[in-house]
Amino acid sequence: MEKASLYFGYTIVLLALLFHTLMLQPNHVAMKTRDLRCWCSRQPSSPESLSVVTAPLQMNQQRLNPGTCRLGKLKATAVLGLVSSVIRENLQYLNLSGNFLTSFVQDPIIFKWKELAIAYLSFNKLQGSVPIPPPQIWTYFISNNRLSGGISPLLCNLSSILMIDLSDNNLSGFLPQCLSNLSGTLNVINLQSNNFIGKIPNLNGNFCALAMIDLSYNKLHGPLPRSLRNFDALEFLNFRNNQIRDGFPSWLGSVLSLKVLILRSNRFHGPIGKPVERVEFPKLQIIDLSQNIFSGSLPSVYFKHWMTTKVSERYEFYIGLPIVNYLTTSNFDYSMSVIAKGIQMNYSKIQEHLTMIDLSSNNFSGAIPKTIGSMKYLKLLNLSSNILTGPLPPFLANLTDLEALDLSQNRLSGEIPQELTQLTSLAVFNVSYNRLTGPIPQWRQFATFENNSYKGNSGLCGTPLSRKCGDPKASPPSSPTSEEGRDSGSAMELDWKIVCMGYASGLVIGVVLGNCLITRRRAQRLVKNFGERKQRRRR
């Protein structure tokens, strides 16, 4: 029998049913898996007695021996009810993620384990209201279920919480102001993909450790709370797909640790203007302002400072947070999902050197500013679906790390500069639906781009277009109508979604590349350097 050790001097009971199919029926358990492993202690006072017991469970309704792990009297209730009836109250660690659990023994439920510090209940089919963990819990993941109702004020009493994830449920109502009462040690709060309404409450507590907030895919409105500027450790903000109405939050530039800012698909409006302070957003790596109502010129002054500092190129460095865990040492990583031509490719981690800007689908006008050439470590740039005019500038060749460039559906004119052939890392290039003329460059990466990269520019000629240069029957340059530009969609769409993947699996950030202009081979090449491929379990 394999021995296990005690951690932090506690007796730990782990019911590990991870990613198996569990069916609860009257007085028996049927399980489509090879075994059921459980940590149990027959004599809690003796560390040597803590052991791993493997009890095979076949489809012949075989029961667990009550003497092996105190799990012999199985009931027809939900597993949480089962566990609470057989495990002593000093439980510290509970992991039931990735099953088909459907309900609790009562609703609402308050966990009876007063010493519970870590609970993973994500990726089930749990219904009812959010169960209330004990106040001293550290990590509470119950995402990707079917929970409903509002957030109970009792959840605001978590005095030691580090990470809380209620994402991908059916929760609704207003976000309570009492969220300010959460622990000052809070690192992560993830409420994305629910149905919360109303304004985002001001978090006036002492959140000196708060690093990640995700409220995306809700129905929140009003302005962003200015209290966010007080969170010095903040690295990741995602408010995508809400109804937030505000100007550009230049005041967030004072949050010196901010790396990722996602405001996509809201009602942000007006010009971006100039920075208030001399140095703003010094560590910003990813910014997505797409599908809003921003107007005026592109933020040329900000371009002077964004993505100008080289970050580590070592592939083992990732954006994320360390997880304090009884059993393992791990990280809470931000991850990326790329969809090209309807094919989803999931990457479990985002390397620290990834940098991108998406300002697409707004009302930015004027020429592309020269300061954009200062962002020499930028990898993805999307300025599509705006009202940009003037030539395609040759100084874009200064973006030597660039891997994707989308300038489609604007009013750019002139020729494609031959200098852009110096961008040897460029895997995605789209200038469709502009007013460009002249020959298409044929060197290096430009020899690989397809017809869709150039369509809607009747003045262009050369491979891959059918029109040969020097053709006397050339038609005048075409320009897209506003309806055509908006309806055609961008060739490179950055689609961010944060999803807690259950037990120590982190977050998912999605990058969606347009479904009409990128081949699968190019999409794979685009993200080849950004992380390891990972299959994600779907609900």
Name the phi and psi angles at 111, rounded to 5. -55, 140
pLDDT of residue 472: 56
Structural domain ending residue among the three candidates 116, 148, 173: 173
Global pTM? 0.77
Structural domain ending residue among the three candidates 130, 153, 173: 173
pLDDT of residue 108: 61
Q: Does residue 504 form part of some domain?
A: no
Q: Does residue 190 form part of some domain?
A: no
Q: Does residue 318 form part of some domain?
A: no
Cα–Cα–Cα angle for 372, 224, 507, rounded to 5 degrees: 75
Per-residue tens of pLDDT for the chain, all 539 residues: 333 333 333 333 344 443 333 333 233 333 333 333 333 333 333 333 322 222 332 323 333 333 323 332 222 234 555 555 556 678 888 888 888 888 776 656 888 888 889 999 999 989 999 999 999 999 999 999 999 999 999 999 998 999 999 999 999 999 998 888 887 889 999 999 999 999 999 887 678 889 989 999 999 999 999 999 999 999 889 999 999 999 999 999 999 999 889 999 999 999 998 887 776 898 898 899 999 999 999 999 999 878 766 555 544 555 555 555 545 545 666 554 433 333 344 445 666 777 889 999 999 999 999 999 989 889 889 999 999 999 999 999 999 999 999 999 999 999 999 999 999 999 999 999 999 999 999 988 999 999 999 999 999 999 999 999 986 554 455 445 444 444 444 545 544 443 333 333 333 333 333 333 334 444 454 444 444 433 333 34
Q: Does residue 508 form part of some domain?
A: no
Question: Can you tell me the distance from the alpha carbon of 363 to that of 282, in angstroms, rounded to the nearest whole number?
Answer: 26
Question: Can you tell me the distance from the alpha carbon of 403 to that of 371, in angstroms, rounded to the nearest whole number?
Answer: 19
Name the phi and psi angles at 77, rounded to 5. -85, 175
pLDDT of residue 532: 40
C-alpha dihedral (262, 267, 270, 275), degrees to nearest 10:
-30
Q: Does residue 533 form part of some domain?
A: no
Paired with 10 in beta bridges are 7
- DSSP string across 325-346: -SS--EEEE--EEEEETTEEEE
Query: What CATH number has the domain bearing residue 469?
Result: 3.80.10.10
pLDDT of residue 158: 92
Determine the structural domain holding residue 455 and report its residue range: 356-488
Query: What CATH number has the domain bearing residue 74?
Result: 3.80.10
Q: Does residue 208 form part of some domain?
A: no
Structural domain ending residue among the three candidates 158, 173, 188: 173
Measuring CA to CA, which residue among 93, 80, 95, 91 is closest to residue 18?
95
pLDDT of residue 518: 38
pLDDT of residue 91: 83
Q: Does residue 46 form part of some domain?
A: yes
Question: Can you tell me the distance from the alpha carbon of 334 to that of 214, in angstroms, rounded to the nearest whole number?
Answer: 12
Q: Give the burial string for 83-115 (b: 16+ CB within 10 Å, else e).
A: bbebbeeebbbbbbbbbebebbeeeebebebee
Name the phi and psi angles at 253, rounded to 5. -60, -20
Q: Which tokens go with 408?
A: 């489609």
Q: Which tokens go with 98?
A: 């990735």
Query: Kind of pairing, strands 492-493 and 459-461?
Result: unpaired
Q: Does residue 274 form part of some domain?
A: no
> How many domains does one find in the chain?
2
Q: Which tokens go with 66?
A: 């009550």
Measuring CA to CA, which residue among 399, 384, 417 is closest to residue 513?
384
pLDDT of residue 402: 93
Measuring CA to CA, which residue among 451, 390, 452, 442 is closest to residue 421?
442
Measuring CA to CA, which residue among 167, 134, 166, 129 is closest to residue 149?
129
